[in-house]
Amino acid sequence: MENKSYPKPTDMLCGSACLYYLATQVFNVPCDDLPNDYMWITDIASYVIKHFDKRATLSCFESNLYNDYKKANFNMIPCFEGFKKVDAFLKSGKEIEEKEITEKEIDTLLKRYRIALLNVSSAVFNQDAKMRGGHYIIIIGEKNDEYLIVNPCKTSITELWYPKEIILDAATCFGSWMITILNYKKR
């Protein structure tokens, strides 16, 4: 199967580009209010819940950020942006479920007309140890040992088949953060 590419607004970062893809290709809704600065996974989950799927869920597993947040005393929360984002998400009445991301779990989600937005390690995903930080992708399909992913690149948003093993490793290295979303496009 040939890769599909979609144009994306200039200089849009990967989190916003994933939201742009969901708005334009899955939910067919206006996306005039998309933020275009760095977004934490909790920011993206809040946007998804508000604009696309009020039943969307956020999960992580063995996340340094979430584990450190749970151990932090109240005075430490304002000192770190990640803690502030997690705190605001939880105080808004939303939950973060702790569960491991597995191939079986993602394959089951896809069969139930759901898609997964993941925060992955850039170094593992791109197989380049020099890269730092995280990258957002969306898993929209699967076959054999590959996932059909949405990868926001510098100039476009590309749908491509990618090895499951690399996706799962890249997600696990970054705390297994996953937003599960109902995929209305498949219905």
Q: For 125-142, how does the pLDDT look when each residue is reduced to its tens digit (9 = 90+)? A: 877 888 888 899 999 999
Q: pTM of the full predicted structure?
A: 0.90
Going from N- to C-terminal start, the domains of the chain cover: 4-186
Tell which CATH architecture fits domain 4-186: Alpha-Beta Complex (3.90)
Instruction: Count the neighbouring beta carbons within 10 Å of the beta carbon of residue 80.
Output: 15
Percent of the chain with pLDDT over 70: 96
Confidence of residue 148 (pLDDT cuts 50, 70, 90): very high
Q: How many alpha carbons lie under 13 Å from residue 71 in its C-beta half-sphere?
A: 6
Calculate the CA 13 to chain-centre distance: 13
Whole-number Å distance between alpha carbons of 137 and 179: 11
N-terminal to C-terminal alpha carbon distance within the chain: 22
CA dist., res. 178 & res. 45, Å (int): 9
Burial profile 117-134: b = 16 or more Cβ within 10 angstroms, e = fewer: bbbbbbbbbeeeeeeeeb
3-class secondary structure per residue, 114-140: EEEEEEEEHHHHCCCCCCCCEEEEEEE
Asked whether residue 163 carries a pLDDT value surpassing 90, the answer given is yes
For residue 6, the cross-strand partners are: 157
pLDDT surpassing 70 at residue 185? no
Question: Per residue in 68-101, pLDDT tens?
Answer: 889 887 777 777 888 899 999 999 999 999 999 9
What ranges in the chain are assigned the alpha helix state H? 14-21, 41-51, 64-71, 81-91, 103-111, 122-125, 164-172
